Every structure is written in C-alpha cells, then in structure tokens.
Structure 1
Amino acid sequence: MLGQPTTSGASSLSMALREHGLHFFRSAVGTILPGPMLKRALVLETTTGCPRLVLRDQPFELKRNLYLVGFGKAVLGMAAAAEDILGEHLVRGVISVPHGIQETLQYRGLREMLLKPQSRILAMEGAKNNLPDRDALKAASAIQDLAEGLTAEDLLLVLISGGGSALLPAPIPPVTLEEKATITRLLASKGATIQELNTLRKALSLLKGGGLARFAYPAQVLSLILSDVIGDPLDIIASGPTVASSHSIQDCFQILTKYNLLNDLPESVQTVLSGSVTEHGTPQDFHHVCNVVIGSNRLALEEAKRQAENLGYLSVLLSDGVCGEVSTVAQLYSLLIQLVCLSTIRVSRNDSLKDKVRGALSNLVEELAIPRLDLMDALKTLQESHGDMPICLLAGGETTVHLQGKGKGGRNQELALRVALELHKAKSTAEGNYLERCEVAFLSGGTDGQDGPTEAAGAFCSQALVEEAEQEGFIVEDFLSNNDSYTFFSQFQSGRHLLMTGLTGTNVMDIHTVLIRAKGS
C-alpha cells in the first residue's frame, strides 16, 4: 500500500538507495491521489441563501440541477470524493472505470476511493487491460445519454483522468469498435506518442475532441482533469471530450503516413477521415465549458523532491516532460549518471572522458527535445552545492516503446533494464572503472501502479544489475530484443527489482528517479 514515509532526517541515509527510491515514489503518488486533489479544487458553500458549488473561485448555484459523469483510471476515487462534497445536491451520475477496480480497491482496504452503498452514481467497469471493449462502449453510451438529456438550467460535473480514452469509446459510424482499436494498436506498436494516438482517436469518436461538451449543450459543463500527458494539453488528455480539438483531419493523415499505415485503413475509417461524415452538434466556441487541471506529474515530482531534501539529498527536478523512444531515453539517463559521477562525485580526473560524455549527452538532449530540460544548468547547480551530499535527480513524463518482440513488459520496466545495460557497457570500457566508486539506483514507475499488461508499476536497477544477471545465466540483450523485461525482472533474483504497488487509483504518467552517492559516504 502507498503509505506515508516512516523515515526522516539524515540518520536514514544508511538505508539502501533502493528503499529511498521507493520512499520518494510512494510520497509522490500520495500527493496526487484523487480524493485530496478534488477536495482542494471543489468547495460546496451552504452559508449563503442558495447553496453554491465553487470551482477555483467561480461560483455555480445549485438547484437540484447537478449531474456527474467521469472516465479514467482515477475517476472512481474522484467520484467518491465528489459524492462526499456534493451530498444531496447531486441528482445522478455515470462513470466509466477500469475493469475490476472496485474489487481491487475493496481488497486493498481503500474504502475512501469507493462509492457509498446507496450511491446516486452508477459505476460501470470496462476496458480490461486498458483496451476499449464492449463494456466500455456501454458505459460511453450511458454517459452520452445522460449528457444529451440536460437543459440550460443544468450543471454537468465531468471527472477526467488518464485512461479515459479507452474508457470512453464511441466510434463514429460506420467505424466499429474493433476497427478503431486495431488502428490504435497498430500505431502504438510502431511507437506512436500519446499525442498522436489521441489525435486519431478524436477524429474517429463521437465523444472525444469536444464531443461530450457538444452533447451536453446548453448545460454548463465543469470539467476537473487529472493530467497524464506531457504539458497538460487539455485536448489530448483522455482525447479532450470537453475541449475543442486543435487538430485537423490533415494531422491524422500525416500521422498515418509517418507510420506507413495509410494503405491499411479499413474503408469505414477512410470514410470518416475523408469528411463524408458530418460532425454533430453545436456550438464550436465552448463558452459553456470550464476546464480545470487539478493534478499533474509536476505536482508529484515536487513532493518527491521535498521528501528527498528531508532525507539529506541534494535534489534537482529535471523535467516533467521526458519523452522519446525508450532506448534513446535510457542512453540519456546513462550518460547523465556518468557525467554526474565524473563531475560531482569527483571519482575521476579524466577531463577528456568528461568532455566526451558531456558532448554525447548534449547531442541526445538536442535529439529528444525534452521540454523544460536544462541539464547543464542542473549540473552546475549540483557542482556548486554538492559537498558530500548524496544526489537525487527527478524527472517525469512518458516514453514510448517500439515493439519488436512478443514478450511481456512495460515502458518503465524496459527503461530500467536498458539503463542498467547502458551503465554496464560504460563500466566495461577501459576508462569506465570510475563507476565502481559510486552507488547508483535508477527507478522508473507508472503512477497508476500498472506498467503495461503486468502487475508491476515499474522496476529498479543499479550499475551492477547486468553483471549480476550474467553470473546467473541471464542474457539481458535477449530479453530486450523480445520486449520481455517483465519476464527478466520476475525471474531474476525472485523479482526483487520489480516495483510492486498495486493499482493506486490515480494516474499522472511516470516518475523517474536517479540516486547517486559515493561509496562509503
């Protein structure tokens, strides 16, 4: 379970880096749990003559006119908190939540994330393994029906979190659910980003790309959003059901061309993208919608940074926008670890090696174009402030995996394993023995507690992991070539490197943690 830390102060520095990494991850997730976030954003005022719902200082009068819909991995907890706040003022609600989540949260004792026994909110489960299915389609239809029945006197509270795209499937006819899922799966297998995936989803959906808001018109729509997308773009999170799309059909064709899928489109998809199906509903200016982001990856990272500083780490938040193919991002983290060890821990006086690593790192930073990332400024901060303090580097975002094999894994586990392999390669060179003088731990984990189709949230690694694996007969490259990171981590050392949290009930992308200290410190 994700509890509060039990350690504090410099005395806990004797703990293993791995335990600290887990500690910071749990603290980060704890601060973006749906209940506390929603209660910070939404206030019910009853002291005036007419009760009011206040959202970010904007009041809305309540006259038995409040309805609720929601969809996403964190929405069950958000709805439970909303139910506590709204009480009798809520008339009716429908939410679409992941398959099995109510039983899982009940089993884990997280009752605060569950609806009341006589709730006015209907929770419909679907999207098993985060894939749109018939159950999710039924839930989307129920949400559409509720929205269509509203009037100008009504308020619709919309709760949105990551995973909402799969939980709100409503393809534009004649596209079928299976056809839309096939296109999405093909794009994902080729390494398409969440922005690219959701651009296509919006174009093929009745409810995404502002469709839900159009169905709800003329009712006032209040949308509370937990972001799982880099930069918090409102029209990409859950494919923007309450936001006008910023993308065109031409953008869709460019994406399909990029991944060589134009010739693989079903006729129905071609029909919709060709514009022969008229977009439904009005209006286009969305003046009746109020969208508010109440939680994000940066909020989680800032809490992890506070926890690291409390434990005596010199901590730097690098970026909440890490993206790119997982193998390239692994190289970035490996080079960063090497440069920190060379420049800050001062384990080597090899200036030529330092310049070589710095040059390679700069090239990768330019190639990945990660937003809000200034590594050289971060290194300067570390060099000026370091002393003998251990170092914690924090980042977040979402990488992509270009599937080449048929193994079992997830982007976080594969990233951790690839970082371990890159560090092993660096350590194996004639000039790489300096890494032996540092303790290094790298953690990559999904804040929703589930990495790909596995029960793990992610994984840990150290610079010694590959060497230890080889001694036990594991060939890391073979597992990676088959995208089989979960199998490796579950078999190697009895799975001790796996990050196991169970479903957390929230979702703000991934958290990456790099912990470094000189041996013996």
Structure 2
Amino acid sequence: MAFALRNLDNIIQVSMKRTWKALLTHTKTSISSHYSMSLPEHGKQIFSRAVQAVLPDAIMRKNLNLTHGASPRLLVGGKEFSFEKLYIVGFGKAVLGMAATAEEILGDHLIQGIISIPLGIQECLRKAGKREMLLKSDSRIKVMEGARNNLPDDAALQAAREIHKLSQRLTKDDVLLVLISGGGSALLPSPIPPITLTEKQMVTRLLASRGATIQELNTVRKALSLLKGGGLARAAYPAQVVSLILSDVIGDPLDIIASGPTIPSPHSVRDCPLVLTKYNLWDDMPSSVQTVLQSDSGPSLENTLEFSHVSNTVIGSNSLALAEARNYAEELGYDPVVLSTGVGGDVGSISHFYSQLISRICSHLAGTEANPKADQELLELVAHLNIPGLSLADCFSVVKCLKDRRALCLLAGGETTVKLQGKGKGGRNQEMVLRVALELHKECDNLGPCDVLFLSGGTDGQDGPTEAAGAFCKPGLVGQAEQEHLDVQRFLRRNDSYTFFRRFKQGQNLLLTGLTGTNVMDVQVALIRSSESS
C-alpha cells in the first residue's frame, strides 16, 4: 500500500495530463447524436442484455449434449460420460429452467430427478409467460419449492432429504447430473445432528445481519451440513457426478457456489469459530452448534474422500453477462469499459467509489480546474477497496478507451453486503443506488454539464425481499425527492430503500424485471455524456 501510494504522483502526472484531457477533447465536441437518447431506457436495455446472456436455456444448450445409438454418451464441457442410468438433482434460483432444458435434451434416457427451487417461482414464471422455463406435465423430475426469502425452511429440508436419499442409492454405472445455481445453499439444508434447522437458520440470519461475506457464510454453513462441502458427491459415490454450475459468487470459486456440494471443502470446522468470533457471535451460538464446530465431524481436508468420480463445469457467470452488456452498449454508441467482475464488500464504500469516480470523470469532462488532491483521494480509495481486476491507475486510464468522441458506459459486477441498522425494506442494489444518488447530489458542483445515469440490479430479478431487481438514479434525484417531502438520509438510516423508490415518482426509478430464472450476482451500469454538445 505504502509503495503504491508513493507512486501516485507519477500516475497522476502521466495519466491526468493525457487521459483527462483526452476525455475532454474526445468527448465534448461530438456526441450530439447521443443527446436525444433516454439514459434510463438505455441503462435498462443494457442490464436486460446482460441477463439474457445467462438465461438457462441458452447456456445449457451450449454445454450439454447427448450422443445417440447403442451406447449413448453424455457430453459436458468437452468431456464424455458413458452410463446405464441417468439421474438429475438440482438446487438454486435458475435450476427450474436448467432442468427443463436438460430434460428436453436427455429425453427418455433420464430415469428420475428431484430439484429444489425457491418458493413460488413456478407460478411467477407461469404468470410471466416464461413457459420455456417450466417442466412439462409428464416430466420425470420432481419439483420441490421452499426457502422463503432465501432462508432454509422445512420445505427445503424435505427436498434436501429426498435428494440425499436418491444420491445414496446410485451405482458406479449411473450418472448423476447436478444442476447448481445461486440460492442453492438455502435450498439444500441438511443440518448435522443434533443441530436443528431452526438453529441453523438463526446462525445464518445473525451472520448476514452483521455483514458477513458470502464466503464466510458458506464456510460456516458447510461445516453444519451433511451435503455441503462435498457432502452430496460423497453420498453419490461411486456414481459419476457431473455438475453444471451457474456461478453467483465473485471469482467463481467452486467450493463457495451453493456451499460446494460436489467440491471438497478447503476449510475445516476449526475455521468457523474464528468467523463467529469476528462478528462477536460465538457466545450466542446454541450448544449443539458449538458442539459440532468443536468436533471433527464436519467436512475438512483430512477426511475428504477421493473426488475422481466428480466433474464440475461452470457454464455461466457474471463475466459472461458483462461481456454481452459491453457488446450491446457499444451497439448503442457508447464506449464501454468493464471495470471489474469482482465488486464486493460494504455497500457504503462501493457507493462512495462509484460516486467519486463519476464525479472526477464529469469534472474533467467539463474542463474544470485540475484537482490533483481529489484524484489522489480516489486512487487511495481504490487501493483501500482492493477490487479484483481494478488497478490503481484504472480510474485515470479508463477514458483512454473512448473512440470517435462518444459517450461512456462503465460496467461492473459482483455482490456487496449491507449492514442492517434499521427495519426497513430493500436490497443491496436499491440501497447502493440511493447512496450514489445522495453522494452525487453533494458533488453536484463537480458534475458540470453532464448527463449521468447510475443503475444497479440483481440478475435474478429480486433485490432482497422485494419484487424489484434494483433501481436507477440521476444526479437530480435527491433534490426532486425533497420536493416530494422524502428525506433520503432518513430512508437510508432505516435500510428502507425500497419504500423510498416505491414512493418517489410512484416507483418510476425501480428496476422491475420480474424473476428472470437466472442468477449471476449483480450488474452496475453508469452512463456519462456531456450535455453541452447538443
């Protein structure tokens, strides 16, 4: 860190003189063709294209096939698998659509299947007319719904038991096709006795409320589970286990996605007390949880079976979604830049980063007096956040990608966390947008004659316990909200972003997509253009 900051002057001197001047020169004089664009509509269209790239049907057909004949073989990710009998299990928000396509491809070769999906998703998809994501009436796959509000419940527990039972009766001549997507952890609860489901729910809820990362949550959940941390693969041995995974975790770590039911855990139960102690929760744990976490009965490297019977393939991710968003933004006439697919951490810090980056770009676009101090502060913020793929110099070199003096589209993805302080209703995306709006309001003097839009949405179409995928804002939102007697800071103190956006302009700034049938974390879109060039 110290070494990097000693080089800030060099970065600023080289990048600031060339890059920010290039932004002004390249952009200010010739984006009049963009002036008639609706930024909110373009933001929503770019987000929609990102989601479309990772819809179940398309990604399944790219990665799953079957050879026919006397000895049919399953083709997955360039590998072939022979079998006598073929079974399917699955769990996650996108698994229903994945299973529907898989059954269509596999036909009569499929013997039986069981999938665990979020409560109500079939009816939502049916009402939305997305029948391609639904199983046919004569399907051989049993659908079980549960995990209300993405929390494990009795219905999900029963589904996990049936999946466990099916897996245990397979032979070496069978193939178990495992479909995994985001939300899979809550849909596959199988607590190690004597832990009850209620106790496991309490642990998850407490960790989430303290701002624990998804990695920390899954480390603990795996240690308390019979099926996570490679448990499902152990149960299915000696059958061949072939997993198709839609990643909802930064960096696509296989042991973290849905808590890694087909992956040996890199953690032991001894790591869990450290996580719980970090958030001052160890003393609040039930005696059953403390007993299991202080024993050697949980998953660990030492007692992991050989996993040579397992093949895991990631078929969809945030990177794939952002690549399509980038291509579409370019079609719309923007110069797109993918900042990172690994944006994580506290939503407040990430919101501050986005607002400061937008502010510095707008300031230089407007040709205002150079502010090396503000630029250095932004570099220090980037160094502190340590966002994967985003270097110290990126914030100052990003506009080098501008071609033909067009407008700029910044893209990023990942998943942030929210520390709950109030009892309001919202989600991480809506809270991020509201925080960015508040900071851009404070930075209004630095924005100059710029048109700006910031959007953040969950690719699953549901941000927290709301029907919104996220929201979008422009810099004037806070001032307009004040005219409607809406105090943005008050809503943020209550973590009540959804209520704010529902009331503001009658919900016009909510991103409403309905459940999408997929899940690869979140996508952020920032559109910036000069309004002086019309």
TM-score range, shorter chain: over 0.9
- 1:400 maps to amino acid: T
Hey, what does 1:72 align to over in structure 2?
92
Structure 1 residue 348 displacement after superposition: 2.8
1:175-218 Cα shifts (integer Å, max 9, x gaps): 11010110110110011110110000000000000000000001
Q: TM-score, normalised by structure 2?
A: 0.91
1:204-259 Cα shifts (integer Å, max 9, x gaps): 00000000000000100000000000000001000000000011223211111110
Hey, what does 1:507 align to over in structure 2?
519
Structure 1 residue 61 displacement after superposition: 1.7
Q: Would the aligned equivalents of 2:463 and 2:470 in 1 still touch at CA under 8 Å?
A: yes
SS of the residue 1:171 aligns to: coil
Select which of 180, 187, 206 maps to 2:207.
Answer: 187
Structure 1 residue 373 displacement after superposition: 1.1
CA distance in 2, matches of 1:356, 1:249: 47
CA distance in 2, matches of 1:384, 1:225: 33
1:355-366 matches, within 5 Å, as 355-366=372-383
Hey, what does 1:208 align to over in structure 2?
228
Hey, what does 1:37 align to over in structure 2?
59
CA distance in 2, matches of 1:247, 1:79: 30
CA distance in 2, matches of 1:153, 1:285: 18
Greater relative contact order structure (CA < 8 Å, 6+ sep) = 2
Select which of 335, 338, 359 maps to 2:356.
Answer: 335
Select which of 252, 263, 273 maps to 1:243.
Answer: 263
Hey, what does 1:223 align to over in structure 2?
243
CA distance in 1, matches of 2:492, 2:501: 11
CA distance in 2, matches of 1:285, 1:194: 26
1:407-446 matches, within 5 Å, as 407-427=424-444, 433-446=445-458
2:335 paired with 1:314: yes
- 1:82 maps to amino acid: A
1:395-410 matches, within 5 Å, as 395-410=412-427
Unpaired segments ≥5 residues, structure 1: 1-8, 428-432
2:467 paired with 1:450: no
Most deviating of 49-58 and 264-273: 49-58
1:31-180 matches, within 5 Å, as 31-46=53-68, 49-63=70-84, 65-180=85-200
Structure 1 residue 79 displacement after superposition: 0.1
Q: TM-score, normalised by structure 1?
A: 0.94
Hey, what does 1:349 align to over in structure 2?
368
| Identical pairs, percent | 60
Hey, what does 1:302 align to over in structure 2?
323
Q: Would the aligned equivalents of 1:96 and 1:124 in 2 still touch at CA under 8 Å?
A: yes
Structure 1 residue 520 displacement after superposition: 4.1
Hey, what does 1:467 align to over in structure 2?
479
CA distance in 2, matches of 1:318, 1:369: 12
Q: Would the aligned equivalents of 2:269 and 2:298 in 1 still touch at CA under 8 Å?
A: no
Hey, what does 1:430 align to over in structure 2?
none
Hey, what does 2:48 align to over in structure 1?
26
Q: Would the aligned equivalents of 1:217 and 1:283 in 2 still touch at CA under 8 Å?
A: no
Q: CA separation of 1:134/1:123 partners in 2, compared to 1, >3 Å: closer, same or farther?
A: same
Q: CA separation of 1:25/1:384 partners in 2, compared to 1, >3 Å: closer, same or farther?
A: closer
CA distance in 1, matches of 2:332, 2:490: 38
Structure 1 residue 380 displacement after superposition: 1.9
- 1:297 maps to amino acid: N
CA distance in 1, matches of 2:330, 2:299: 52
Q: Would the aligned equivalents of 2:223 and 2:298 in 1 still touch at CA under 8 Å?
A: no
- Kindly tell me the number of residue pairs found equivalent between the two proteins: 502
Measured on the aligned residues, the alpha-carbon RMSD in Å equals: 1.7
2:510 paired with 1:498: yes
- 1:228 maps to amino acid: D
1:459-484 Cα shifts (integer Å, max 9, x gaps): 00111111111122111100000000
Q: Would the aligned equivalents of 1:13 and 1:312 in 2 still touch at CA under 8 Å?
A: no
2:499 paired with 1:483: no
CA distance in 1, matches of 2:137, 2:271: 46
